[in-house]
Amino acid sequence: MIVGIIYNLRQNCKCSSILLNSNRINYNDFKNLLNKNFIVEKSHQKWIRNLSESKINIIAQVYSIKVTDNKRLLVYDNNNKLISTENYKIDKNKTI
């Protein structure tokens, strides 16, 4: 995910697999993700192609976005607001 404010204060948000427009994901949604355990849930339509039947099925699906510590250690302040990330330290002598 990439979020930023560019030149003329236009908000630019990018997230894979979901359309980004004013009624979907915006800067404030991403800003709220800085709060610990906060999840943004948005509904969107997923298009599933069936080429053998020449059909496209459209289903409603909930898209959840949250901060994870899968790749980096998350650092929070006293107000449970994300302020930084750190590398995981890997010790060759310890089994994870």
80-95 per-position pLDDT tens digit: 999 999 988 888 887 6
Beta carbons of 85 and 68 less than 8 angstroms apart: no
Q: How confident is the model at residue 6 (pLDDT cuts 50, 70, 90)?
A: low
Q: Looking at the 3D structure of the chain, how many domains does it have? A: 1
Residue 42 covered by a domain: yes
Per-residue model confidence (pLDDT) at position 90: 80
Residue 72 covered by a domain: yes
Q: What is the 3-state secondary structure (H, E, C) of 50-87?
A: ECCCCEEEEEEEEEEEECCCCCCEEEECCCCEEEEEEC
Q: In whole angstroms, what is the distance from residue 30 CA to residue 87 CA?
A: 22
Domain of 13, in residue numbers:
2-86
Residue 52 covered by a domain: yes
